[in-house]
């Protein structure tokens, strides 16, 4: 049973470009969470999605950031017009259930560097 | 307000020493879950343990042990006879059963360095 798969592992973008980060949840998991880890900080929640629905996006910056989890295919975190401050590790986690303390299974993260 | 506080930013020990990483949490939910994750230099997040709020029994797994104290809202993590491979950032996290829909609140992490 493959774990949570994130790609790419490393992504370099110039300021103003778009970054697309992909996350394939574990088989049978329909809940996906995105977290951001800025340098020297813990992980901060960004968005929680179920298939075709954004459930909670309270941690997402208001502009330039969007997320989706289509019926088919991976979840996508999209950052438009990237700036240096977007440089961070972005982790995706998936879970089979909500609210039952099922530990979220994390991917290996995508390290975004904006130059 | 921080829901999870890890007051120790960095800890250095010499191999074979015991070390305790502190975690204090804050929640109004009566049902909640506490986690510890390890982030080695390679960057991935490794799940270590999950405890629910109704189970205050301490847990031991090899050289790792966890002390859950509801009275002080703490969930401390002890590594016995530390090894160089234990060097990593350790995160404590909280999940509430209430309205926050399974999201995890992380502390800022404790960087543990074990010297040979």
Inter-chain contact A45–B104, Cβ cutoff 8 Å? yes
pLDDT average, residue stretch B78-94: 96
What is residue A10's predicted lDDT score, i.e. its pLDDT? 97
Which residue from A52, A1, A51, A26 is spatially nearest to A104, judged by alpha carbons?
A: A26
Cα–Cα distance measured from residue B8 to residue A52, given in angstroms and rounded to the nearest whole number: 40
Cα–Cα distance measured from residue A78 to residue A75, given in angstroms and rounded to the nearest whole number: 10
pLDDT average, residue stretch B56-84: 93
Inform me whether the C-beta atom of residue A115 falls under 8 Å from chain B C-beta atoms.
no
Cα–Cα distance measured from residue B58 to residue A34, given in angstroms and rounded to the nearest whole number: 31
- Given a cut of 60, is residue B114 above it in pLDDT? yes
Q: Report residue A109 as tokens.
A: 């993260």
Mean pLDDT taken over chain B: 91
**What percentage of chain B has pLDDT greater than the value 70?**
96
Confidence of residue B74 (pLDDT cuts 50, 70, 90): very high
Inter-chain contact B33–A108, Cβ cutoff 8 Å? no
Least confident of A22-26, B89-93, B96-100: B96-100
Work out the number of other CB atoms within 10 angstroms of the CB of residue B91: 25
| CB proximity under 8 Å: B 64-93 to A | 91
What is residue B52's predicted lDDT score, i.e. its pLDDT? 87
What is residue A40's predicted lDDT score, i.e. its pLDDT? 76
Q: Look up tokens 């130059």; give the residue.
A: A115
Cα–Cα distance measured from residue A18 to residue A102, given in angstroms and rounded to the nearest whole number: 33
* Opening angle at CA B24, ends B23 and B26, nearest 5: 140
**A58 interaction partners in chain B (CB closer than 8 Å):** none
What is residue A98's predicted lDDT score, i.e. its pLDDT? 67
Inform me whether the C-beta atom of residue B63 falls under 8 Å from chain A C-beta atoms.
no
Least confident of A100-104, B2-6, B74-78: A100-104
What is residue A23's predicted lDDT score, i.e. its pLDDT? 97
Q: Report residue B111 as tokens.
A: 């960087």
Query: Splitting chain A (115 residues) into consecutive groups of 10 residues, what average pLDDT does each group show?
Result: 87 98 92 91 91 91 95 95 96 80 82 97
What is residue A114's predicted lDDT score, i.e. its pLDDT? 97
What is residue A47's predicted lDDT score, i.e. its pLDDT? 95
What is residue A101's predicted lDDT score, i.e. its pLDDT? 61
Inter-chain contact B108–A42, Cβ cutoff 8 Å? yes
| CB proximity under 8 Å: A 73-102 to B | 89, 91, 93, 95, 97-102
């Amino acid at each position: 049973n493959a774990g949570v798969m994130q790609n790419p592992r490393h992504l370099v973008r110039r300021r103003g470009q778009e970054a697309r980060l992909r996350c394939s949840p574990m088989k049978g998991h329909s809940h996906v969470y995105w977290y951001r880890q800025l340098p020297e900080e813990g992980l901060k929640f960004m968005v929680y999605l179920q298939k075709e629905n954004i459930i909670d996006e309270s941690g997402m910056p208001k502009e330039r950031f969007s997320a989706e989890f289509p019926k088919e295919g991976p979840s996508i975190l999209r950052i438009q017009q990237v700036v240096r401050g977007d440089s961070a590790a972005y982790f995706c986690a998936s879970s089979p259930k909500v609210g039952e303390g099922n530990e979220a299974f994390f991917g290996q993260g995508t390290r975004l560097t904006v130059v | 307000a921080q829901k999870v506080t890890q007051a120790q930013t960095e800890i250095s020990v010499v191999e074979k020493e015991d070390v305790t990483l502190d975690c204090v949490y804050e929640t109004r939910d009566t049902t909640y879950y506490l986690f510890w994750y390890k982030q080695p230099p390679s960057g991935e997040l490794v799940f270590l343990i999950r405890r629910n709020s109704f189970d205050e029994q301490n847990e031991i797994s090899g050289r790792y042990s966890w002390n859950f104290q509801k009275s002080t809202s703490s969930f401390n993590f002890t590594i016995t006879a530390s090894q160089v491979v234990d060097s990593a950032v350790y995160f404590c996290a909280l999940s509430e059963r209430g309205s926050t829909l399974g999201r995890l609140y992380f502390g800022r992490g404790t960087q543990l360095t074990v010297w040979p």
